Amino acid sequence: MSESALGRITGLRTRLIDAPLVRPWGTDVTQWHVIEVLVDTESGVTGHGFSWTPTIGAHSVQAMLDHDIRDFVLGRGADARTLWTPLWQRLHEAGSGGVTTIAMAGVDLALWDAAGRAVQASVTGLLGAKRASVGVYGSGVNRHYPLDELVAQAQRWRDAGYRLVKMKVGGHPLGEDVDRVAAVRETIGPDAELAIDANQLWSLDEAERAIGELSRFDLRWIEEPLRADDLLGHAALRSRIDVPVALGENLHTAYRFREAIAVGAADILQPNVIRVGGITPFLAIAELADAAGVELHPHLLPELSGQLALAQSRATLVEDVEDAGFDRLGLLAEPAPVRIADAMLTSTGRPGLGITLA
């Protein structure tokens, strides 16, 4: 949809939604925070976007949208690709990423949604579908689960036909992590792939030692073994281990992804479409990964990530955290824009993002 067809931005409204998690991610993570962002255009089409943060910063994100971003975008052309860079440059004084890009994502998504709604096309249709379906892997925020609950979750994944599952490690004595990974591997069997996620909990030496012990379980990847900002550390770790390294959910700009590729920090990139600032920068990151021959598997939010994955030229996988989909959390006012069955995701073809919040 062209800028001239949508006209200019005439309004921006936000609403903060707290969504209790069906399965808490820990004693301190019992709910998600979603900031609905509605952008009105001269054409009469209203775009529905959102920003998201599980724990920290929701009120800051909403404040940036309600003040700095609204003041800048009103009266400007309603074209996501044209608006993104000048808006980022305007906000850069407050930080190049984090709250800045999370807030920007709400506007970027709303404009892509408006473009799709205006021509009754899904975002996948706007971008150009490259495939009819993409694979989905089962993921759990389960570090706090006792062993019997962890095994039960792994059994649910196996029963659902997932061919790749991911579990949390770190935060336990290494011997306990070994026992937990062994139990999940036994439950899912030798034919399923198993990935592990340390959520930035290890030092370089700790990661090397832990992966040395855990690699016997035939790991698909180790995710965020070190602090996400330590790209050189991840590159050093890659030279010491045989397990592929995944990174990206906590990188906030295309520049950091370009640096990660340049220094050899990761085998797999996992951009979160909200944290990087929306669909516009996500597409730039996907192009970088494609050019470098690096795997790209978007982080979380399958209702949105799945639609973007369907438009990628190279095969990708979509993460589905158990009981954390928008539909399962009661966030949707209308049917979901994607369908997940038999470990595969397909689009339902709803216009725009197809995400209308309740």
pLDDT digit string (tens) for 246-266? Answer: 999 999 999 999 999 999 999
Question: CB 262: neighbour CB atoms within 10 A?
Answer: 12
243: tokens are 């397990």
Q: 321 with 113: CB under 8 angstroms?
A: no
Single out the catalytic residue among 48, 166, 168, 252. 168
237: tokens are 């770790």
161: tokens are 């036909």
What's the pLDDT score for residue 2? 47
pLDDT in tens, 72-103: 999 999 999 999 999 999 999 999 999 999 99
Question: CB 272: neighbour CB atoms within 10 A?
Answer: 23
Q: 258 with 237: CB under 8 angstroms?
A: no
Does 252 participate in catalysis according to the annotation?
no
What's the pLDDT score for residue 238? 97
Q: Which amino acid is at 143?
A: R
What's the pLDDT score for residue 1? 43
What's the pLDDT score for residue 4? 63
d(CA 334, CA 350): 10
- Total-model pTM: 0.96
What's the pLDDT score for residue 27? 86
The domain over range 3-120 is classified in CATH as 3.30.390.10: yes
d(CA 248, CA 246): 7
d(CA 90, CA 78): 17
How many Cα atoms sit within 13 Å of 302 on the Cβ side?
A: 31
Burial of 255 (0-12, 13-18, 19+ CB in 10 A): middle
CATH of the structural domain 125-347, one choice from 3.40.30.10, 3.40.1690.10, 3.20.20.120, 3.40.50.970: 3.20.20.120
d(CA 266, CA 40): 40
| In the chain, domain spans | 3-120, 125-347
Q: What is the 3-state secondary structure (H, E, C) of the chain?
A: CCHHHHCEEEEEEEEEEEEECCCCCECCECEEEEEEEEEEECCCCEEEEEEEECCCCHHHHHHHHHHHHHHHHCCCECCHHHHHHHHHHHHHHHCCCCHHHHHHHHHHHHHHHHHHHHHCCEHHHHHCCCCCCEEEEEECCCCCCCHHHHHHHHHHHHHHCCCEEEEECCCCCHHHHHHHHHHHHHHHCCCCEEEEECCCCCCHHHHHHHHHHHHHHCEEEEECCCCCCCHHHHHHHHHHCCCCEEECCCCCCHHHHHHHHHHCCCCEECCCCCCCCCHHHHHHHHHHHHHHCCEECCCCCHHHHHHHHCCCCCCCEEEEECCCCCCCCCCECCCCCEEEECCEEEECCCCECCCCEC
Single out the catalytic residue among 33, 48, 234, 299. 299
Q: Which amino acid is at 351?
A: P
What's the pLDDT score for residue 315? 86
14 closest CA partner among 57, 55, 53, 64: 64
pLDDT < 50 stretches in the chain: 1-2
52 closest CA partner among 303, 339, 334: 303
Does 299 participate in catalysis according to the annotation?
yes
